Every structure is written in structure tokens, then in C-alpha cells.
A = this chain, B = another copy of it.
Amino acid sequence: MNIILLPQNTLSTAIIDDKTRVMHLKQVLKVALGDTVKVGIKNGHLGTAVVSNIHDSSIELSQIHCTIAPPAKLPLTVILAIPRPKVLRRLFLDMTAMGVQHIILVNSYRSEKSYWQTPFLTQLDNYIHEGLQQACDTVSPTVSLKKRLKPFVEDELPALIAGKQAILTHPYANEQFTQVWDNALPHVLVIGAEGGWIDYEVELFKTAGCQAAHIGNRILRTENAVSVLCGHALLTSQ
């Protein structure tokens, strides 16, 4: 947590009363009365606040002063096959921290149907909140859930990738990822779950306008692959 993210209607004072952040302020930052902490206003600017009261289960911040613009989002949409529920938190935290603009979870043949029932899907906003506080950002990515792959790819994807470069990562593609990457365009990355995409899905995405590319013959865990691929967008955006 590198900033405390405050609600978007915050004026000059705020009360932090959720357990996680009170604990963080007390035990990690070890704040004392009068200390300055880094804050951000949701959808607004970054700046500082002063610790003006410390209670058992809440902390008051005042003199909130935010004038620094948050970092720009990456021109990047990630279309991700819904992964195992236990990795959703880290994936959303990290994609948010790296500055992904739009995250679309889709169904895939190799994702289990039960994944769509996980209660973790109701916690995505919390994971995003963690990611914003990690990266000193204030603006959430847009999140879309698409439980039916074929109508999404056939009916919605072509408009979504217009004017962008859409790359599906696939170990058996002929071309290599960085060789097809065109840094002049915004990107849409299509990333499979453990086990990857089946041939039918690869063809579906290709027909809709996506290129397939591989990242070599090492097979990475989904979280690792997502960091490597979004990291490429992050590093080449600078």
C-alpha cells in the first residue's frame, strides 16, 4: 500500500475505519499524530494528508491536499480466459497496478464452468482498490465479464479491436510476440488460462481480427504470463 485511496467525494478530511488500512497505518507505517501520509482521491489527484486523530479502530486524516495527476493508463485491453478463482486477486491487483485500461474475463474451453460461481468474482473491486493503492493510481480499469465466448468474439470483438493491434498468445503460433508487436498502436492482448486455448478458439479469435504469437517454448503460469505480457506494454510505453 503506497497510497491511501480516499473516496471521490473527499474534501479536506477523511476517516479510515476499515481494519486492513487501520492495521497498515498503525503497524507498517507506524504513524503518529501529525505525521504526513501519501493519499489519492478516487478518480482524482494524488497528494498528502496529516494524521489528526488515532482511535482504536479508526484513524482521522485532515489537511488533505491533492494536486498531482495520477499516472496515465496503458493503451491496453486484456482479454483473459477466466482463471482459477484463487489467482483472481493477484491477477486483478497486478493488472491494475501495471495500468491496464480494460480487463475482459471470458469463458474458455479449458476454464471450469464452476469458476463463474466463485464469490471472488464479487471482490474484483477490492482487488482493484489494492492495485491502485500499490501503484499510486486513482482510476480503476473497466471490467467486463463475458460468459459466452462465441457471441462476444463474433459480435463485440471486431469493434473493440478496431484501430488497435490484437494479439492472442499461443505456444504453437508461428510468429514471436515482440516481433509482431507494433508500438505505434494501442493493444488488445488475448491470454489463455492454464492449458491455453483450443484450436477452435484460436481460429475464432483469428477470424475476428486477432494475430497469434508465441513467447517461446517455456510455458508460464497464467499470473506470470500476464505480468510478462502486460509488462512489455508497460516498458514499451515509456
Contact surface of A with B, Cβ cutoff 8 Å:
2, 71, 90, 93-94, 97-99, 134-137, 176-179, 215-221, 223-224, 227-232, 234-238
- Taking A224-B231, A229-B231 as known contacts, 15 extra A-B pairs with beta carbons closer than 8 A to each other, sorted by chain A number, are A71-B216, A93-B221, A98-B218, A99-B218, A135-B220, A136-B219, A176-B238, A177-B235, A178-B236, A179-B238, A216-B237, A223-B227, A227-B228, A228-B230, A231-B231
Contact B215 A235 (CB under 8 A): yes
Question: In the complex, which residues of chain B have a beta carbon less than 8 angstroms from the beta carbon of A2?
Answer: 219
Contact A231 B234 (CB under 8 A): no
Alpha-carbon distance between A234 and B217 when the two chains are bound, in angstroms: 11
Tell me if A's interface is mostly helix, strand, loop or mixed: helix
Q: Which of B71, B94, B99, B224 contacts A97 (CB 8 A)?
A: B224
Q: Please give me the residue from chain B that is nearest to A237 by CB atom.
A: B216
Question: In the complex, which residues of chain B have a beta carbon less than 8 angstroms from the beta carbon of A99?
Answer: 218
Question: In the complex, which residues of chain B have a beta carbon less than 8 angstroms from the beta carbon of A136?
Answer: 217-219
Contact B231 A71 (CB under 8 A): no
Alpha-carbon distance between A208 and B203 when the two chains are bound, in angstroms: 52
Query: What are 24 of the A-B contact pairs (CB < 8 Å)?
Result: A2-B219, A71-B217, A93-B221, A94-B220, A97-B219, A97-B220, A98-B218, A98-B224, A98-B228, A134-B220, A135-B219, A135-B220, A136-B219, A176-B238, A177-B235, A215-B235, A215-B238, A227-B231, A228-B230, A228-B231, A228-B235, A229-B231, A232-B232, A232-B235
Alpha-carbon distance between A221 and B178 when the two chains are bound, in angstroms: 24
Contact A238 B97 (CB under 8 A): no
